[in-house]
Chains A and B, each alone.
Chain A
Amino acid sequence: MDVIDRPLYELARLLESGEVSAEELAVEFLSRIDKVDGIVGAFVTVDREGTLSGARMADKARRAGEAPSHLAGIPIAVKDNMCTRGIETTCSSKMLRGFVPPYDAHVVERVKAAGMLVIGKTNLDEFAMGSSTENSALRVTRNPWNLQRVPGGSSGGSAAAVAASEAPAALGSDTGGSVRVPASYCGIVGMKPTYGLVSRYGVVAYASSLDQVGPLAANVRDCAIMLRVIAGHDPRDSMSIDAEIPDYEAQLGRDIAGKVIGLPKEYFAEGIEPGVRDAVLEAAKQLSKLGVEVEEVSLPTVEYALAAYYIIASSEASSNLARFDGVRYGHRAEGAVDSVSMFMKTRAEGFGPEVKRRIMMGTYSLSAGYYDAYYKKASQVRSTLKSDFDRVFERCDALLTPTAPTTAFPIGERIDDPMSMYMSDVCTVTANLAGIPGISLPCGWQDGLPIGMQLLGKRFSEATLLQLAYAYEQAAGYPSRKAPVTKDRGCCSCH
């Protein structure tokens, strides 16, 4: 097996034992990127020099017995909405072309503190708004399992990079499913942590009350390792929670017998592809074979969650993206005659259509006379939804649902139909609204495309979710499958 196809936890072992050097690893991954990223399109920036010099430093430190952690020298990919000091951070938007932050996001600091290397910045839907990565102003990202298909979004670049072995793991951000949906479409593991577990500092805000950074990895163990790297209190994020971070990896493999998993019927209703539904129900059977009690539950408010999500997320986005006015950084339109025309021209030129759509929806929802009917009503739905979850988590340790209603869809299929695009998030937005953690992992294949299942848990139940996911993954034996990344698998595979 090529070194690039090995799990991250094994790379750490190889580095520690000296069987592989960080420099060799960096060279391997950089050449993999050279080889396939022209087709996959996962990255918008590759930091070749920084990765190689960082790798040499990691090797030196390890030889001196001074490696900052056992992960030192492992390269990872970072979604391009997380600030990286000295490296352009674009959010895949014209608006931020050329913006080089003078600071690292908290998660990037944490990755660097562990000695890991940011190999590059990955493509996303502009400002993380989208479910397919097609809204990127910079490039198209293709699904490594089928290059005619989308990788999901908005962390499509991060998911595709891991699926195509261009990086052993990646960071994504999840506001309504943006880590879990692409993980599902690309056949990898992706987790959205509890709101407040990971600092948002330096992550370009889309919807502040929903945004969380999460890991994308080839398997559950790698996901657990990466979560521990990025989780923890940061005083610069007022919503960051000061809690002890467990050793998630060490807790994997615990017996899950006796755990109770709920199947919320609202997530298996109309709109879920039969193949997806069957695969998730099959996974439930597999889990019950492992001693888990599976029972049907109901979360009646879920029906209104998608609408509430798009109102709240758009409202916050309309405010968060108002700072991109051309005054201090980023794009500034030429030919403005006064400050108002500068704002208008800059924003008209800098933002793509989906971003504009959400800014308009959000501005509308917050306007005098509409606030009560939209933003306030959506906030009420949100708190009712939270109570729904609280209630089921009194009985259940976790909930099992599909991650997305379908497998990866063809590029271009939904781009002109926002409603069908928004439907991709119907199973994932609930976790963001309720602030609870969720993990997506593969549970089957349909026509050569991965199917993802989602486990949801109560706040700070990441360790439990990872244990359940790990037990399932071991039983199902899925992480050995690798995406083919070849052009010859065209549209024929979708009948």
Chain B
Amino acid sequence: MPLTDYEIVIGLEVHAELKTESKAFCGCSTKFGGRPNSHVCPVCLGLPGVLPVLNRKALEYAILAGLALNCRIAERSRFDRKQYFYPDLPKAYQISQLDFPICSNGSIDIPADEELGGGTRRVGITRVHLEEEAGKLVHSGSGILDSEYSLADYNRGGIPLIEIVSEPDIRSPLEARRYLEQLKLLLQYTGVSDCKMEEGSLRCDANISLRRKGESKLGVRCEIKNMNSFKAVEAALQQEAERQAELLDSGEPVISQTRAWDEATGTTVFMRTKETSSDYRYFPDPDLAPIVVTADMVEEIRRRLPEMPDEKRRRYVNEFQIPEYDASLICGSKPLADYFDSVVAVYEGSPKTVANWVMGELLRLVNQEKIEVESVRITPRQFAALLRLVDEGVISGSIAKTVFEEMFATGEDPDKIVARKGLKQISDAGELASIIDRVLAANSQAVESIKSGNQKAVGFLVGQVMKETHGKANPQIVNKLLKERLGL
């Protein structure tokens, strides 16, 4: 039976680090990197007698994330202790939330898999809860099992995290990827998380099961861990769906288990069965009072929600007359949309012009150089200044592209580049007249052709003038002057 005869059911658990300045329950810095154990204090090291105090910012960020994901914010929520022994966990428990999470009942809309009929898929968000990061172990060997010793670095320990749990509403590996992309976008828009999977600030575990099409009962699920990119999530789920389909086809049961994605082999491998999983002995953390969030506080935080991608896209289309496709593309990246907005803010001309340049030259160079939009050296002010030079006829559009490349490489001001390289457009009739004389003299054949009625050859002559001036001549004036000279 082909995989298409089965319905794939996927739910995702995503952990995102919150971008607060200080840790969730102490005042230590959350900066990435740093000497091992340089961002630690008695509280995040779990020394005897110390106590956690909730970082208000972390709570606000969790609420902000919940609002961006259309969640209900709990009036009362609670911290629980999730207990297990591990050298990277200083208190031997993680402060987390079990029964009363801060946010619940949200949803995200994504484009449904075209092969499943397309349209919009609404993926429910079961819950978003707040918890703390563990530290990091550095093993002397390649893993904890074959190492002679391991070193513990608690810099990361205590950084606030949100865990976002989806309903099993996702129906294909592609949709899982789209869900993650949309989730990342929404979180980036709110500014609560960087969502960098490579730096570990976003992590994803997936639950997947199969059932025969039309069946309402869910199949036995497996959990997949250890995926380091959205692409890996999609690939791992595809591979796991195929594995489960093969089992079901051959009449074997799927056994509930946790599997790890192996990037090297492109397969999932068995980790442990669910039966042997730990009992975390959750109980309410007696060191922390229940969190009370008033309706006023929720409204105050709601007002801080920035313009979200959908709203922004609609505004670009309606107010700026930017094509739907371009608007979606710009809004599909928070840094790109931010960049676009800041250029528009300082540029008097049409936002559509800005969009053309962003979609064209900027993205071409960003992709070509494989850099992030955040590290583009051209400031929005410089970007606007370049467009102004074109608008005012100081340089031609084609010269502007050369200047843009130079700015992209060096971060230099456009007027300085134009001045230094003498790229100013030649609009002076006297200066152009002598060049035209030379061109006419050298192209008598074309002149003859024009005189016998072939108007098209005018364009050729304009091109020759442009070539002579290395593109600096103002083409409209050249055209006008040529026509005068030729008596057209």
Query: Measuring CB to CB, which residues of chain A are less than 8 angstroms from any residue of chain B?
Result: 81-83, 89, 91, 96, 99, 101-103, 105, 200-205, 207-209, 235-239, 315-316, 318-319, 322-325, 327-329, 339-340, 343, 363, 366-368, 371, 375
Contacts and interface: CB of A to CB of B under 8 A. Distances in A.
Contact of A239 (B48, B86, B87, B287): B287
19 contacts: A96-B48, A101-B42, A102-B42, A103-B42, A201-B50, A202-B50, A203-B49, A205-B48, A207-B286, A235-B53, A238-B51, A238-B53, A238-B54, A316-B286, A322-B93, A323-B48, A328-B45, A343-B85, A366-B282
Contacts of A367: 279, 281
A327 B152 contact: yes
Given A319-B81, A323-B91, A237 B51 contact: yes
Interface string B451-469: 0000000000000000000
B150 interface: yes
A204 B52 contact: no
A319 B281 CA distance: 9
A329 B45 CA distance: 10
Contacts of B92: 319, 322-323, 325
Size band of the interface chain B makes with A: 20 to 34
B283 A209 contact: no
B288 interface: yes
Contact of A204 (B49, B53, B87): B49
B486 interface: no
A343 B85 CA distance: 8
Nearest to A324: B48
Interface of B: 42, 45-54, 81, 83, 85-87, 90-93, 144, 150, 152, 279, 281-283, 286-289
Contacts of A99: 48
Given A323-B46, A329-B47, A339-B87, A238 B283 contact: no
A101 B283 contact: no
Contacts of B282: 366
Task: Tell me whether chain A's interface is mostly helix, strand or loop, or mixed.
Answer: loop
Contacts of B53: 235-238
B49 A322 contact: no
Contacts, number: 102
Contacts of A96: 48
B49 A238 contact: no
A407 B132 CA distance: 48
Q: Among A105, A202, A208, A319, which residue has the most Cβ atoms of chain B within 10 A?
A: A319
B49 A205 contact: yes
A82 B50 CA distance: 11
Contact of B48 (A83, A315, A371): A83
A89 B286 contact: no
A337 to B, nearest CB: 11
Nearest to B85: A343
Nearest to A239: B289
A416 B3 CA distance: 66
B286 A201 contact: no
Contacts of B287: 205, 208, 238-239
Given A203-B49, A325-B85, A367-B281, 5 more contacts: A201-B51, A238-B287, A239-B287, A329-B47, A339-B86
Given A83-B48, A339-B150, A319 B85 contact: no
A203 B51 CA distance: 9
A327 B54 contact: no
The 10 A-B pairs of least Cβ separation, nearest first, read A322-B92, A209-B286, A208-B286, A366-B281, A204-B48, A202-B49, A204-B49, A368-B279, A323-B46, A323-B91
B136 to A, nearest CB: 13
Contacts of A239: 286-287, 289
Contacts of B81: 319
Contact of A238 (B46, B85, B150, B288): B288
A366 B91 CA distance: 17
A316 B91 CA distance: 13
Q: Among A91, A102, A238, which residue has the most Cβ atoms of chain B within 10 A?
A: A238
Contacts of A101: 42, 47-49
Nearest to B278: A368
B23 to A, nearest CB: 14
